Amino acid sequence: MDITVVGLGNMGRAFTKRAASLGFNVFWWNRTREKVKDAPGTPIAELADARGLVVVFVADDKALFDILPKLGGEYVALAGTYSVEGVRRAVELLAARRQVGFAMPVVGSPRNVEAGDAIYLVGAPDDVYIKLRPVLEKFGVLFYVGDSVKAAALKLAYNSLLISTVAALGESLSLAVKHGVGPDVFKELLSRTVFKEIGGRYIDRMLSGGAPTFTIKNAAKDMRYASLAAGEVESSNVAISGVKALYEILTAMGYGDEDYVKAGILAGRK
Ligand SMILES: NC(=O)c1ccc[n+]([C@@H]2O[C@H](COP(=O)([O-])OP(=O)(O)OC[C@H]3O[C@@H](n4cnc5c(N)ncnc54)[C@H](OP(=O)(O)O)[C@@H]3O)[C@@H](O)[C@H]2O)c1
């Protein structure tokens, strides 16, 4: 099966590399072609030339509805993180054109995507899943949901928990450090509690200067979509709204391209 990847940012590039390493015939499209330096496969000039299984990794709902009107391909997997309403409308729009669209958001980083151990929340209906499963399972762990709206909601529920957790961790670390407690002491305390894995995984990353693979502006977008999804079903939204505000303020302050794990410590900077 041909695979076309649309949107070659951090995630799309990683997916392209995985697809090429598995021996698929890979095509790709990116709005800004010259930004893409290290992707295997064949660039296509027009979205209409997308073919086979089209995997969409553009940033947000606006980008999704910018590319959809002209997008070719038989199956369209919406692999970026989009709003519940955006996914609902995108799947309807594709169905009206006799293309099979479904949500397939990803839990994991670009590194996981490239290594083949990311988790894909597959919202495709049964018959489509049965057909595509032999291809999709080569890309990582499949978590079958069977409904695109539920897959989108599950991804937003997971991301709002993860993003809120790292934001709270950063603010807590900052509180301790500003009172003279070293980060290692805070980390050592966490290592003796239920927070062992979270502290071990995120504190060093918060304090280091590595290139971000998931940005503050993308996290702000996820929290906005999570807040909308909660509002739509009248679910409580107080913590989600607070964290959303933190990421939106940091984006407005010019920190949008920083690593999302740094939010809690950046917010305390003068
Ligand atoms: N990074 C992660 O760890 C991660 C994990 C899970 C899910 N996700 C989700 O996956 C998606 C992609 O994430 P990413 O980290 O790869 O983002 P990214 O590096 O910021 O890349 C964004 C991509 O979207 C394209 N784009 C933006 N606006 C567009 C528009 N109006 N029309 C067409 N293309 C547009 C960009 O094209 P240009 O190059 O032209 O700007 C670029 O290819 C997001 O929805 C994100 O939330 C990311």
Angle at 62 between CA 58 and CA 63, to 5 degrees: 25
The protein residue with its alpha carbon nearest to ligand 1, atom 31, reads 63
Quick: pLDDT tens for 48-69.
999 999 999 999 999 999 999 9
Distance between Cα 177 and ligand 1 center (Å): 34
What is the biggest distance separating any 2 CA atoms in the chain, rounded to whole angstroms?
Answer: 62
Residue 107 has pLDDT above 80, yes or no: yes
Q: How far is the CA of 16 from the centre of ligand 1 (A)?
A: 14
Distance from C-alpha of 222 to C-alpha of 60, rounded to nearest angstrom: 9
Ligand 1 contact via 218 beta carbon (within 6 Å): yes
In this prediction the pTM is: 0.95
182: which residues sit within 8 A by CB, 6+ positions away?
none
> Would you state the pLDDT for residue 86?
98
Ligand 1 centroid from CA 126, angstroms: 28
Region 136-158: mean pLDDT is 98
Q: What is the CATH number of domain 152-266?
A: 1.10.1040.10
Q: Whose CA is nearest to atom 47 of ligand 1?
A: 81
pLDDT, mean over the chain: 96
214 CB within 6 A, ligand 1: yes
CB of 86 within 6 A of ligand 1: the answer is no
| pLDDT number for residue 64 | 98
Q: Give the mean pLDDT of 212-232.
A: 96
Q: Which atom of ligand 1 is nearest to the CA of 31?
A: 40
**Structure tokens that stand for 265 in this block:** 């410590």
CATH architecture of 2-146: 3-Layer(aba) Sandwich (3.40)
Mutation probe of ligand 1 site: the residue of 31, 36, 78 with most atoms within 8 A of C-beta: 31
Residues 217-228 have a mean pLDDT of 97
Report the share of the chain in percent with pLDDT over 90: 96
Residue 270: band (very low, low, confident or very high) from pLDDT cuts 50, 70, 90: low
Q: 267 pLDDT exceeds 90? A: no
For the chain, where do the domains classified as CATH 3.40.50.720 start and end? 2-146
- Other Cβ atoms within 10 Å of 7 Cβ, number: 23
Q: Please indicate whether residue 255, judged by its CB atom, sits closer than 6 Å to ligand 1.
A: no
Tell me which residue has its CA closest to atom 39 in ligand 1.
32
Check pocket membership of 113 for ligand 1, CB cut-off 6 A: no
Q: Which amino acid is at 4?
A: T
Residue 255: the pLDDT is 95
8-47: pLDDT as tens digits: 999 999 999 999 999 999 999 999 999 999 899 999 999 9
Q: What is the 188 CA–ligand 1 centroid distance (Å)?
A: 36
- pLDDT on residue 269: 75
In angstroms, rounded to a whole number, what is the distance separating the alpha carbons of residues 27 and 46?
Answer: 11
CA distances from 13 to 26, 65, 116, 137, 216 (A): 11, 21, 13, 19, 19
Helices 183-190 and 148-178, axial angle in degrees (round to 10): 130
Residues of the chain with CATH 1.10.1040.10: 152-266
Contact 164 CB / ligand 1 (< 6 Å) = no
- Does residue 140's CB lie within 6 angstroms of at least one atom of ligand 1? no
Beta carbon of 50 within 6 Å of any ligand 1 atom: no
